[in-house]
Amino acid sequence: MLYTRELLWRCMPINIALDAIRTRRGLKWGVPAMLLAVPYLYASSPVRVLIGNGAPGWLNLLVLLRG
């Protein structure tokens, strides 16, 4: 179980971005990352609605990338 958690922590795009932002060097990217989060949230909401209405299951992967 621990290995799976470590693998997911190192490979998931959201976790990689969060690790980069949380460093001192990454502080300058905090505000642009927050500004990107709002359109990303609005883009994933219609995908969730599509999945709920019977769209293909692979669209769940797009929602999972949100975090």
Tens digit of each residue's pLDDT (9 = 90 or more) over 7-43: 777 777 777 777 777 777 767 777 887 888 888 788 7
Q: What is the pLDDT of residue 26?
A: 66
Query: For residue 39, how many other CB atoms are within 10 A of its CB?
Result: 9
pLDDT at 1: 59
Three-state DSSP state, 4: helix
Q: Record the pTM.
A: 0.43
For residue 67, the model assigns a pLDDT of 53
Is residue 30 a contact partner of residue 11, using CB atoms and an 8 Å limit?
no
pLDDT score recorded for residue 66: 60
Q: What is the pLDDT of residue 2?
A: 65
Contact 66, 44 (CB under 8 A): yes
Task: Give the Cβ contact number of residue 9 at 10 Å.
Answer: 12
